[in-house]
Amino acid sequence: MSLHRLVQVVIREQMKPEEVRLWSQRVVRMMHAVFPEGRAGTWDQGEVETWGKCERYLVQALACISLLAGLEKELPEASALLLKVGRYLVRRTRLREAGSVLEQAIRLGEQYYGDKHPALIPFLVLQGERLWREGKYALAEALNERAKAIEELHPGSPYVQVGEILNNLALLAWEQGKFEQAKSLFHQSLLMQEQQGQPDPLGIASTINNLALLAWKQGKFEQAEPLFQRALQIREQILKPDHPDVAHSLYNLAVLYRDQGRYEQAEPLFQHALRLQEQVLGPEHLLLADTLINLAVLYRNQNHYEQAEPLFQRALQIREQTLGPEHHIVARSLYNLAVLYRDQGRYEQAESLFQRTLHIQRQELGPDHSTVGRSLNGLAVLYREQGKFAQAKPLFEQALHIHEQVFGLEHPEVAASLHDLAILYIKQRNDEQAELLLRRALHIREQYLDSLHPDRARSLTALVQLYRRRGQGERADMLMQQAGAIFEQPFSPDPPSM
C-alpha cells in the first residue's frame, strides 16, 4: 500500500484481468479487516482513539473505491468497508465526504443483498443521520421510512435495533416543529424497547432523555425535569460515575435549570459535567465545546461577560483545531461570540464575526440552510440595535423566507423571525405591519409552546407596548395580565446558543 501511485499503475497495467480482480478483492478485504469498526452512540476515550486509526487508513480506504467495479455481487466487504468509512466521516461531521461514500455503500449493498434485505438498514439509517445533520429533513425522513419498512418485513433480524428508527423519525418530526408527532413516536419507541425480551436500559435512557429534550424545547420545564432525572438515574446505575453519558445527563439538567433562571443550581452541574468530560475525554475533545458554550451562555445571561468570553473562545479553539477553521460547527462558535459582542455593544467585532459565520455556513451548508437564517437574523438585530434600519430589514426578510422554506409557515423559528422583524417595524413606527407580524408570531407560539413559555411573553409584551403607544389601554391591559402569569416564572431571556 506504500508504493508510489505511478508504480502501482504500471504494475496493474502489466497484470491480467483475473489477477487484477483477485488482488482487488484481497486489498478490499484487507482494508475492511484493519479499518476500525467504530462504536455508534459512544463517546468514551476508546472512540476517540479509533479516530486516529481511521484517519491513518482513510486515504487507502477511499482508494479502494476505484477497485470495486465489477465486484458488487461477490464482495460483501466492499459495502461494509464503505459503511465504516461513512460512519467515521459522519462522526467527524465531514458530511459532504460522507455523502458520496454512503451513496455508493447503499448502491453496493443493494446490488449484493437486494433492495429489501435487512442488511441495508444500517446504511439507510446512517445516510439519514447525515442528511438530518445537513438539515435535509424530508430526505432523511424518507430513508428512515424505507428502513422502517424493511425492518417490519424482517422482525427479529440481527440488523434491527428495536426502537431506533422510530426514535430517528421522532427527532426529524421535532426538527420540523411537529412536536405532538415527535412525542407520539418517542413513546412508541420507548414502549417497543421496554417490551422486548431483553430490554437495553441505556437505549431506554436515551429515549427518555429525548422526551425530556422535547418537553424542554416546548418550555414544558416541569415535565422535562423528572424525565432528565430518570435518564440520569438509569445511567448512574449502569455506567461508571465518570462516564461521558453520565456527564451528558448532568449537562442536560444544567441547561434546563439555566433556562429556568435557576442559575445557582445550573452552574455546579455544568462545572461537574465539564470536569468529568475533561478527565475521560481530554481537555481538547469536541464534546467539551458544547458544555463550555452553554456554561458561557449561563454567564452571559447574568451579564458576567468577563467570565463568558474565555469559555466561548476556548470552545472556538477546540472546534477549529478538531474540525478546521472553515467548518460549519466552527461557525456556531463564531455566532455565539458575535451575540456576546453585540450584547456588550462591541458592534464592529460582532459584525465581523456574523459576516464570517455567514460565509462559512453558506459555503458548507448552502445559502438556504436554517442556520444561515438564524445568522442573518442575528446580524439584522445588530443593525437594528444601531438604528441601521435600512440594512436590517432585508436581512430579517431573508431570514424569515429561509425559515418558512425550511420549516413551513408555522414553526417556532418562523415565529422568532416574525417577532424580530415586528420589533423593527415598531421602532420605525410602522404599527400596522408590526401588529400583523406579532399576532402571527403569537398564534404560532400558542400552537407549539407551553402556556408559560417565555417566548409567548415576548410576543405579548411587544403587543402591549404597541397598543399602549396607540392609546388602546384596555387591549394592552388584557394582554399584560396574560404576560404577568409568565413573568412570575423564572426564565432565560437571551438568544439561543448554536
- Given this model, what pLDDT does residue 73 score? 66
- Comparing 219 with 295, the larger pLDDT belongs to 295
Helix, strand, or coil here: 98? helix
- How far is 382 from 391, CA to CA, in rounded Å? 10
At residue 290, what is the residue type?
D
304: left (phi over 0), alpha (psi -120 to 50) or beta: beta
Per residue in 279-330, pLDDT tens? 887 888 888 999 999 999 999 999 999 999 999 999 999 999 888 899 888 9
User: The pTM is what?
Assistant: 0.78
Question: Cell for 433?
Answer: 405591519
- How far is 437 from 319, CA to CA, in rounded Å? 37
Using alpha carbons only, what angle is made at residue 23 by residues 19 and 25, rounded to the nearest 5 degrees? 120
Give the mean pLDDT of the chain.
86
- Find the range with the poorest average confidence among 20-29, 108-117, 235-244, 305-314: 20-29
Burial (CB count within 10 angstroms: exposed 0-12, middle 13-18, buried 19+), residue 493:
exposed
Grid cell 453496493 in the structure block, residue = 108
Q: Which of 237, 216, 254 is nearest to 453 (CA)?
A: 216
Q: Give 322's contacts (C-beta < 8 A, 6+ positions apart).
A: 284, 286
Reply yes or no on whether the pLDDT at 122 is more than 50: yes
Q: Could you give the C-alpha distances from 76 to 104, 105, 317, 456, in angstroms and in order?
A: 13, 10, 41, 54
- Find the range with the poorest average confidence among 3-17, 282-296, 330-344, 408-422: 3-17
What is the mean pLDDT of the segment spanning 33-46?
A: 64
Q: Which of 40, 84, 33 is nearest to 58 (CA)?
A: 84
Torsion of CA 132, 400, 364, 68, to 10 degrees: 40
- Given this model, what pLDDT does residue 389 score? 97
Highest mean pLDDT among 186-195, 214-223, 238-247, 391-400: 391-400
Highest mean pLDDT among 90-104, 177-191, 204-218, 373-387: 373-387
pLDDT band for 42, please (50, 70, 90 cuts): very low
Reply yes or no on whether the pLDDT at 43 is more than 60: no
- Comparing 133 with 139, the larger pLDDT belongs to 139
What is the mean pLDDT of the segment spanning 202-208?
A: 93
Grid cell 429525548 in the structure block, residue = 210
- Given this model, what pLDDT does residue 2 score? 53
What is the mean pLDDT of the segment spanning 220-226?
A: 91
- One DSSP character per residue, 194-214 reads HHSSS--HHHHHHHHHHHHHH
- Given this model, what pLDDT does residue 491 score? 47
Question: Cell for 147?
Answer: 428502513
The span from the first CA to the last CA of the chain, in angstroms, equals: 42
- How far is 317 from 336, CA to CA, in rounded Å? 13
Question: Cell for 329?
Answer: 460547527
Q: Which of 324, 322, 319, 321 is nearest to 336 (CA)?
A: 319
- Given this model, what pLDDT does residue 15 score? 58
What is the mean pLDDT of the segment spanning 188-209?
A: 89
Reply yes or no on whether the pLDDT at 67 is more than 60: yes
What is the mean pLDDT of the segment spanning 56-60?
A: 86
Per residue in 433-465, pLDDT tens? 999 999 999 999 988 887 778 888 889 999 998
- How far is 107 from 126, CA to CA, in rounded Å? 14
What is the mean pLDDT of the segment spanning 161-186?
A: 89
Neighbours of 48 (CB within 10 A): 17
Q: Could you give the C-alpha distances from 475 to 270, 292, 445, 458, in angstroms and in order?
A: 42, 43, 19, 16
Q: Could you give the C-alpha distances from 75 to 71, 109, 321, in angstroms and in order?
A: 6, 10, 38
Reply yes or no on whether the pLDDT at 20 is more than 60: yes
Residues in the chain: 498
Reply yes or no on whether the pLDDT at 123 is more than 60: yes
- How far is 105 from 331, CA to CA, in rounded Å? 30
What is the mean pLDDT of the segment spanning 44-55?
A: 68
Q: Which of 265, 264, 285, 263 is nearest to 274 (CA)?
A: 285
- Find the range with the poorest average confidence among 203-212, 301-310, 336-345, 476-485: 476-485
Grid cell 432528565 in the structure block, residue = 228
- Given this model, what pLDDT does residue 6 score? 44
- How far is 383 from 338, CA to CA, in rounded Å? 13
- Given this model, what pLDDT does residue 72 score? 61
Reply yes or no on whether the pLDDT at 12 is more than 80: no
